[in-house]
Structure formats: C-alpha cells, structure tokens
Structure 1
Amino acid sequence: MKQLILFILLLNSATNFAQGGEKIKERIKAQKVAFITDKLELTSEEAQKFWPIYNEIEVKKEELRKESVLKRKEKKPEDLTEEEAKILLNEMLDIEDQKHELNRELVSKLEEVISSKKIIALMRAEREFDRKLLDRLKEFKDRRQNRRN
C-alpha cells in the first residue's frame, strides 16, 4: 500500500512538473507572438494570414529540433564508432538542410501575405526575441546560483 501511495505521489509530481513546463512554453510562445506582432506592425488582415503560415512552419521546425536533439543524445560522441559518427553527422546535416528548406518555404509563403521588408523585420525580431529570452534565462540561472551560495 505504501508503495502504491508513493507511486501515485511520484506520478502526480511528474505530471505537475510536465504541465509546468508546458505552461512555461505557452507563456513564451504568447510573448513571442506579441513581440513579433509589435515589431512587424502587422495589420489585422496581415496577422490573420501571417500567423497560420508562421505557426505551421514553426511546428515543422520544432519537430526537426526534437529529432536533432534525440539523434545527438542517442550516444555520446566518444561511444560512437567512426562509421556511426559519419552516419550521425550526415543525418544532422540532413536535418539542417530541412530547416533551411523550411525557411525558404516560410519566406515563399509569407511573400504572398506581407512585404519583403516585414519578412526581414521578422527575421530580425526572431533573433532579438531569442537573444532576450537567453538573457532572461541567464539572469534566472544567476539568481538561482546566488540564492544557493
């Protein structure tokens, strides 16, 4: 009985942790949407056409990111044979090619919806958002580290 209770508590904790991670991802996504919308100064008509295209490509990019991470985590580099390393390297390069193709697809589709200037502004806004997100993460880690010390 104690084991069952312990198992349920652990399962509940894991579920809450996973849900917390999803909530954070959703908050970040919402902030990114607001940031990009502001930076691009999208009209409501542009936004209605822009976001479905952008979100579709982002989902595909996220799938590639996950695939890339899984491939890199399968084995440590030092545990790979030279042949396995070559195969992994080619798979990683293929994923990078697919990401590049997705960027081309995004630009191609967005050119029908917004100006080239706004597409360039989008690229800049994405980099700026990522940079700010990384800065905030670094600040958070620094604060956590300072609390521990």
Structure 2
Amino acid sequence: MKKIGLVILMTLFGLSLFAQSGKLSEEKRKEFEAQKVAFFTQEMELTPEEATKFWPLYNEMQQKIRVENDKIRDLTCRKSKEAPEVTEQQALKNLQTLLAAEQAMRDIKKEYIDKLTKALSAKKVWMMIEAEQKFHHQLWKKMGKGPSPVQK
C-alpha cells in the first residue's frame, strides 16, 4: 500500500512540475517521464520482465504518434495564426492532411497493439489503455484544464 501512495505522490509531483512551467526543461521532462513510467508500471501491474518488453515498444509507438500529432498541430494551430483567410482549395488540402494524419495514428496504434499483445497479455495491453486515460485525466485535472460541466 505504501508503494501505491508513493507512486501517486510522485506522479502528482511530476504533474505539478508540468503545470507550473507550461514547458518542461530537459531535467523536468526526464522527471516527468519517470513519473509516467512509475504510474503506468503500477497501474498495469508490470513485472520487471514485462516492463523490459513493454517500454521500448510503447515509447516507439508514442514517438510515431507524436510525429502525426505535430502534423495536426502545425496544420490547425500555426497556419491559422499566419493566414486566417483560407481558400476553399487550401481548406480541402488541410482536411485531407488532417484525415491522413488521424488515419496514420490509428494505423500506428493498431500495429503496436498487435506487437504489444505478442509481448504481453491482452489484459495488460488493455490496462495500458486505461492507464493512459487515467494519466491524462490526472494531468489535465492538475493543470486545471479538466473538462468543464455541460451547462443547459
């Protein structure tokens, strides 16, 4: 029980570092990643042997997904600031790029879920999905950007 409390405390500390700065220094980023590793390892109940199989695949998947997310962010955030008036042709091109990046992320997830289920049980991979959701929920909550209640 003490281990669980320590992991949660460390995770919340890591989240507070992120929330305070907005951007992470290299040192804070490493600390944040260590908190993420501890959180996922605990949530997924990974043994040391499972962790050595899981983390390289997970990190590789996340890197590939980050590339696609960057394409979407570049398209939706940076371009809209540069040129608020978008032509019909540019809008169509943007939509095609957006859909291609989203499809690429789904393809990456499928590929790596297949790889992960060969290295770990399907239950552990499902626990990864749940751990990601919990981790992101805690991160958003800690940053004060959690979902706001719907008003009628």
* Same fold? TM cut 0.5: yes
Q: How does 1:1-149 map to 2 (within 5 A)?
A: 20-72=24-76, 73-76=78-81, 78-138=84-144
1:74 and 1:22, CA in 2 relative to 1: closer, same or farther beyond 3 A?
farther
Structure 1 residues not aligned, in runs of 5+: 1-16, 140-149
* Displacement after TM superposition at 1:64 (Å): 1.3
Percent identity between the two aligned chains: 32
Residue aligned with 1:101, SS: helix
Equivalent residue of 1:27, what SS?
Answer: helix
Q: Distance in 1 between matches of 2:26 and 2:102?
A: 26
SS of the equivalent of 2:132 reads helix
How far did 1:20 drift? 4.6
Instruction: Provide TM-score, normalisation by structure 2.
Output: 0.73
Q: Work out the number of aligned pairs and report it.
A: 123
Q: Secondary structure of 2:118's partner?
A: coil
CA deviations 1:65-110 (Å, max 9, x no partner) are 1121111121358410111111101100110001101110111100
Measure, in 1, the Cα distance between the counterparts of 2:24 and 2:134.
25
TM-score by length of 1: 0.75
Aligned residue type for 1:75? S
Structure number with bigger Rg? 1
**Once superposed, which parts of structure 1, at least 4 consecutive aligned residues long, lie more than 4 Å away?**
none
Q: CA RMSD in A?
A: 2.2
Q: Distance in 2 between matches of 1:113 and 1:39?
A: 18
Rounded to whole Å, the distance in 2 between the matches of 1:125 and 1:111 is 16
SS of equivalent residue, structure 1 residue 111: helix
Distance 1:52 1:109 in 2: 11
Please list every run of 5 or more consecutive structure 2 residues that lacks an aligned counterpart in the other structure.
1-20, 146-152
Greater helix fraction, Structure 1 or Structure 2: 1
